[in-house]
């Protein structure tokens, strides 16, 4: 009887051992949290819609073949641009609810994205908090970045990775060629996300900061209305040069994050790979985005990209 119970236990545990551990990280505590949402809701609430857009994109690409994905993503694009982004949800929805199949396939990648998104939100909160002076904000951003990087399992490298990882791998650029409109919307998300830092850092008064945030949000909506999206992936050093000069580690993390979004889309849209092959490639890319010393752009080259322009203000 004991031998049978042990055998049954081993059979039950074996599949679980092969699954990803569903662990998550908690944000850095402090009274500054939620300041951006409280003071700039027109920008902050959009992030909840962006999270849905990323998740539903991955779920559709994974579940549908290339033929069926075209009308499905067209419907999702229309829903996002005419409904969800116009009336964004007040609270974020767990991505595994929106994209259960993707979350099961690529939990480490999903967690890397979410952990970097937490960093984004906390840095907005720091710079939105009027109780902190400039020196305190700068120091706190660096402490939060240290806290983020301490989670070595899910943190992106804090040095700029080479653009060739996004553009020149054998599977690269499939998504943007097959779904240019949706890809443009994703790049507009990234433009807004990094562009919001500049007025928070550069404007002297609360009124001017609010006007600057509204200006960036309106710039995003102008892209959507006109369908004139960025022609290349927006780089933090180009869109937010003041933020990048102050906090180059965080800026590099965000550029690596945004490149990884493109990489995942290209993997999921691959027409012949099985789910297992897609998972294996995603995990390889996850490791590369965490690994120091390989496929680096170099800080000087990264800084030169800022000279190309594209500044928010």
90 confidence band (pLDDT: 50, 70, 90): confident
How far, in Å, CA of 112 to CA of 134, rounded? 29
How far, in Å, CA of 237 to CA of 190, rounded? 12
User: How confident is the model at residue 27, as a pLDDT?
Assistant: 82
How far, in Å, CA of 44 to CA of 200, rounded? 13
CB 171 within 8 A of CB 192: no
User: How confident is the model at residue 94, as a pLDDT?
Assistant: 86
User: How confident is the model at residue 309, as a pLDDT?
Assistant: 54
User: How confident is the model at residue 22, as a pLDDT?
Assistant: 60
Tokens of 91: 């609270």
Residue 257: CA count within 13 A, CB half-sphere: 29
Lowest mean pLDDT among 86-90, 162-166, 280-284: 86-90
- What would the DSSP string read from start to end of 248-278? HHHHHHHHHHHHHHHHHHHHHT-SS--HHHH
* pLDDT, average across residues 53-59: 96
Query: Per residue in 197-228, pLDDT tens?
Result: 999 999 999 999 999 999 999 999 999 999 99
Query: Mean pLDDT for the chain?
Result: 91
9 confidence band (pLDDT: 50, 70, 90): very low
User: How confident is the model at residue 245, as a pLDDT?
Assistant: 97
Other beta carbons within 10 angstroms of residue 32's beta carbon come to 22
* pLDDT, average across residues 168-186: 97
* pLDDT, average across residues 42-71: 94
* pLDDT, average across residues 75-85: 97
CA–CA distances in Å: residue 27 to residues 119, 125, 140: 8, 12, 13
The verdict on pTM exceeding 0.75 is yes
Task: Examine the pLDDT at 11 and tell me if it is beyond 50.
Answer: no
Task: Examine the pLDDT at 313 and tell me if it is beyond 90.
Answer: no
User: How confident is the model at residue 307, as a pLDDT?
Assistant: 78
91 confidence band (pLDDT: 50, 70, 90): confident
93 confidence band (pLDDT: 50, 70, 90): confident
* pLDDT, average across residues 7-34: 61
Q: What phi, psi does 286 have (nearest 5°)?
A: -60, -50
How far, in Å, CA of 309 to CA of 290, rounded? 28
235 secondary structure, DSSP code: P
Query: Per residue in 224-272, pLDDT tens?
Result: 999 999 999 999 999 999 999 999 999 999 999 999 999 999 999 999 9
How far, in Å, CA of 7 to CA of 127, rounded? 57
Task: Examine the pLDDT at 12 and tell me if it is beyond 50.
Answer: no
Percent of the chain with pLDDT over 70: 90
């Amino acid at each position: 009887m004991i031998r049978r119970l042990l055998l049954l236990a081993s059979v039950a545990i074996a599949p679980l051992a092969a699954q990803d551990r569903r662990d998550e990280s908690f944000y850095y505590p402090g009274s500054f949290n939620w300041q951006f949402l409280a003071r700039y809701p027109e920008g902050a609430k959009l992030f909840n819609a962006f999270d849905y857009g990323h998740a539903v994109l991955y779920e559709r690409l994974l579940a549908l073949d290339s033929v069926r994905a075209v009308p499905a993503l067209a419907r999702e694009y229309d829903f996002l641009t005419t409904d969800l982004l116009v009336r964004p949800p007040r609270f974020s929805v767990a991505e595994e609810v929106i994209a259960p199949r993707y979350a099961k396939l690529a939990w480490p990648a999903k967690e890397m994205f979410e952990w970097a998104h937490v960093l984004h939100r906390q840095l907005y909160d720091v710079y939105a908090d009027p109780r902190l002076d400039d020196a305190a904000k700068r120091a706190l951003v660096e402490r939060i970045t240290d806290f983020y990087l301490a989670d070595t399992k899910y943190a992106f490298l804090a040095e700029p990775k080479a653009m060739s990882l996004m553009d020149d791998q054998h599977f690269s650029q499939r998504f943007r060629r097959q779904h240019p409109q949706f890809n443009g919307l994703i790049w507009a998300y990234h433009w807004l996300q990094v562009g919001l830092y500049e007025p928070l850092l550069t404007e002297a008064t609360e009124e001017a900061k609010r006007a600057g945030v509204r200006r960036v949000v309106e710039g995003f909506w102008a892209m959507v209305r006109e369908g004139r999206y960025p022609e290349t992936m927006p780089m933090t050093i180009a869109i937010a040069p003041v933020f990048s000069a102050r906090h180059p580690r965080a800026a590099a993390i965000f550029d690596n994050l945004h490149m990884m979004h493109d990489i995942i889309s290209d993997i999921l849209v691959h027409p012949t790979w099985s789910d297992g092959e897609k998972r294996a490639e995603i995990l390889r890319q996850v490791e590369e985005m965490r690994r120091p010393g390989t496929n680096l752009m170099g800080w000087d080259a990264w800084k030169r990209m800022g000279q190309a322009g594209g500044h928010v203000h």
